[in-house]
Amino acid sequence: MINMAELSQQYADLLQNVKAQPSKFFWQSPPEDSMKAIEKYISGSQIHLVEPPDQVAKKLYNDIAGYSVLTDPLHDVWVRRIQVLSWDKISIQFINGEKHQIDGFPSPALAQSVIRKIIQDFGAGAAGAGPGFSGKLKNGLRLTVFFPPAVPSEIGVRCNIRKEIQRDYTEETYSANDFASKLELSCLDTLLRYGISLLIVGKPGAGKTTFMRYLLSELSGEGMDVVTIDDKQEINVGTLLSPSDSVLTDHLLQYASGLEPDVIGCNIDDSPVWKASLQGNAIIAASPAFDPGEALYQMSSGGIPLDRLARAFPVIVFLRIFRDGKFRIAGIFEHVLGGQKQPELKTIWEFRIKEKTGEKLIGVHQQVNDLSENIFSRMRFSGLSPVEEQKIRKDYEDAERCSNRPAGSGSAAPRDQKERSDL
């Protein structure tokens, strides 16, 4: 029977021996050369390990010169999130929502050392010296971590690393991953093309920035003039404007309006972007919030009347991470003026769960209401042709025929709805 404690000790001793001989394994050389040198050393020694020498060599190299068990997930473009629940328990989540457990760190000390190395190497420097850190790093990494004494010493470290998606999404990849239907995506593209501003709402990590980049890229690819205001430089579509000490965000919005682009994308928190929309610009912006109602409440808390917000962002797109780990458009809502000119949210599209098997959710993106005549009127003013309008209305009719719900039913005020237990 294999004694795991003995094997762990053998690996720990091997790690110390290799670490103590930096010149022998030439850490500044290409990783492949270093790993070959380590493999040769292991093969010539009397050490007996379960894994093949080449795998052990790679593991040793990553523990010393890389980021230990996080090396591969950090460089894998398909990995969306890394959760270090404790030094010996790590979960990774892929872009398609799938989650997997991977091997933990060899020790709590190495776990702490690796996370601090990530903070330092990716741009935060000495900021990672305390018991906690939260911030944006280079290469699209967002990291939050707690070390002892902020967490119990037996846990070692608690960390969440979220990676900006490096690959561009397309209509096909979004629809294939159940993020949205092609009809939904086509509807949002048409709205922006004809001057209707969109507000994208969702919790942090729900995919707002990636989806904004997709929509703006589609419009730019169609030959439209796109200007992006982005202090994080995560979108970089069309003409990119970035705030500075001398140029504030509200000034950038004025300058962007002066360029007279077809669409302005704004990826800046707490910006006065609603003003630019009311001035006649087609705007796409994001708001971190639990649901659309909360996003509007936060925006109105600065004294902005709700009816003006409704005019500024007549359509709201709600993104959500569901319990199966998948990112989806949970709903698309239109801002309509109800009684006493108080805005209400009417559901246009929604994701409906049809079946739940374990953690797997099977559902459909359904259109449950048509856009209002006010929206169509505004789009006609911006050049929507009768043929294009008929196509949008036909798409709705086709979607409605596939639904089990009568046409015209369904309105929503998401802020008042309780979270469903199966989501």
Sign for the CA dihedral angle at 399, 405, 407, 410 comes to negative
- Give the model's pLDDT for residue 78: 81
From the list 412, 199, 214, the residue with the least C-alpha distance to 316 is 199
How many Å apart are CA 252 and CA 389, to the nearest integer? 34
- Burial bucket for residue 85 (CB in 10 Å: 0-12, 13-18, 19+): middle
Digit-coded pLDDT (tens) for 129-179 = 678 888 878 777 889 999 999 999 999 999 999 887 656 678 888 888 889
- Give the model's pLDDT for residue 106: 84
- Token reading at 240: 């990119």
How many Å apart are CA 228 and CA 213, to the nearest integer? 10
pLDDT tier for residue 247 given thresholds of 50, 70 and 90:
low
From the list 221, 253, 254, 217, the residue with the least C-alpha distance to 236 is 217
Mean per-residue pLDDT, 220-229: 91
CATH topology of domain 171-416: Rossmann fold (3.40.50)
- State yes or no: pLDDT of 341 exceeds 70: no
Does residue 274 sit in helix, strand or coil? helix
CATH topology of domain 4-163: Beta-Lactamase (3.30.450)
Phi and psi (nearest 5°) for 79?
Answer: -85, 125
Mean per-residue pLDDT, 119-133: 77
From the list 380, 369, 367, 321, the residue with the least C-alpha distance to 344 is 369
Site of tokens 């109105």: 300
Digit-coded pLDDT (tens) for 406-419 = 433 444 443 333 33
Q: Where in the chain is the domain with CATH 3.30.450.90?
A: 4-163
- Give the model's pLDDT for residue 408: 37
From the list 87, 189, 81, the residue with the least C-alpha distance to 140 is 81
Q: Where in the chain is the domain with CATH 3.40.50.300?
A: 171-416
pTM (2 decimals)? 0.71
Digit-coded pLDDT (tens) for 42-66 = 777 766 677 787 888 888 888 887 8
Q: Are 216 and 230 a contacting pair, CB within 8 Å?
A: no
Digit-coded pLDDT (tens) for 355-387 = 887 778 889 999 989 899 999 999 999 999 998
pLDDT tier for residue 2 given thresholds of 50, 70 and 90:
very low
Residues contacting residue 136 through CB under 8 Å, at least 6 positions apart: 142, 232
User: ∠ at Cα 279 (373, 371), nearest 5°?
Assistant: 15
- Give the model's pLDDT for residue 8: 67
Phi and psi (nearest 5°) for 415?
Answer: -65, -25
Cβ–Cβ contacts within 10 Å for residue 17, how many?
A: 14
- Give the model's pLDDT for residue 414: 38
From the list 265, 245, 262, the residue with the least C-alpha distance to 253 is 265
CA distances from 171 to 110, 177, 184, 299 (A): 42, 10, 10, 30
